[in-house]
Amino acid sequence: MSKLKLTITMSIDGYVAGPDQSPEQPLGAGGENLHDWLVPLKAFRESHGHEGGEVNASTPFAEGILAGAGATIMGRNMFGGGPGPWEESWRGWWGDDPPYHHPVFVLTHHPRGPVEMDGGTTFYFVTDGIESALDQARAAAGDKDVSLGGGASVAQQYLAAGLLDELVVSVVPRLLGGGARLFENLGDARLEQVESVEAPGVTHIRYVRA
């Protein structure tokens, strides 16, 4: 069965987004700096339609986020468009050709029909919970893995429910001082470290469910 994997960047003080998240500032104050390790990489630039960029020890982790999966699950806030019933003109942050290129399952309390984008990305809106979203994503992914896109709340729910098979925490030397924490409300979740990799400005630590 395909695995559910999350790769997420965290400041050393534990935040995956800074304070004061808003549509203009989806990662909160200071949050845009969390991904300074990722944005210059060739693997990231190519997935967003740009040429050039760096190759370093972070490259396999950048590729793992986007290229390794056959489906993605994300929370409502990560898809955007504000709370409440859908404004159908909102089709995500990523333009006409989002960098997923596979089915994306958006967890929401508000029903909406599928939204088909260019390049193989279709957004499906799931209103009956995290297990249903995982079942649908696994069916769509075939023999590939399912990527958990975030944000923090959705990641916590899958982690606490024991449904997350693998977690890569990319720890960056930032102190955000506030915002959204990844590791809270986790019940009896247990992790085992399987790998850690030093890269410029970041340490990637891979965990599996213990």
Enumerate binding residues for a second copy (CB under 8 A). 12-14, 169, 171-175, 177, 181, 183-184, 186, 189-193, 195-198, 201-203, 205, 207, 210
Q: To the nearest whole angstrom, how small is the minimum distance from the Cβ of residue 87 to a second copy?
A: 36
Nearer to a second copy, 39 or 67 (CB): 39
Q: To the nearest whole angstrom, how small is the minimum distance from the Cβ of residue 187 to a second copy?
A: 9
- Say how far residue 115 (Cα) sits from the centre of its chain: 19
Q: To the nearest whole angstrom, how small is the minimum distance from the Cβ of residue 63 to a second copy?
A: 20
Nearer to a second copy, 94 or 183 (CB): 183
Q: To the nearest whole angstrom, how small is the minimum distance from the Cβ of residue 178 to a second copy?
A: 9
* Strands in the chain per DSSP E: 4-11, 15-17, 69-75, 103-107, 115-116, 122-126, 145-150, 166-172, 180-181, 191-199, 202-209
Nearer to a second copy, 11 or 108 (CB): 11
Q: To the nearest whole angstrom, how small is the minimum distance from the Cβ of residue 50 to a second copy?
A: 26
Nearer to a second copy, 51 or 192 (CB): 192
Nearer to a second copy, 46 or 54 (CB): 54
- Say how far residue 140 (Cα) sits from the centre of its chain: 17
Q: To the nearest whole angstrom, how small is the minimum distance from the Cβ of residue 4 to a second copy?
A: 18
8-state DSSP, 182 = S
Residue of 18, 46, 12, 20 lying closest to 33 (CA atoms): 18
Give the span between the Cα atoms of 31 and 177, in whole angstroms: 11
Residue of 149, 180, 143, 142 lying closest to 164 (CA atoms): 149
Give the span between the Cα atoms of 40 and 132, in whole angstroms: 36
Mapped onto helix, strand or coil, the DSSP state of residue 25 is: strand
Nearer to a second copy, 67 or 205 (CB): 205
Number of residues in the chain: 210
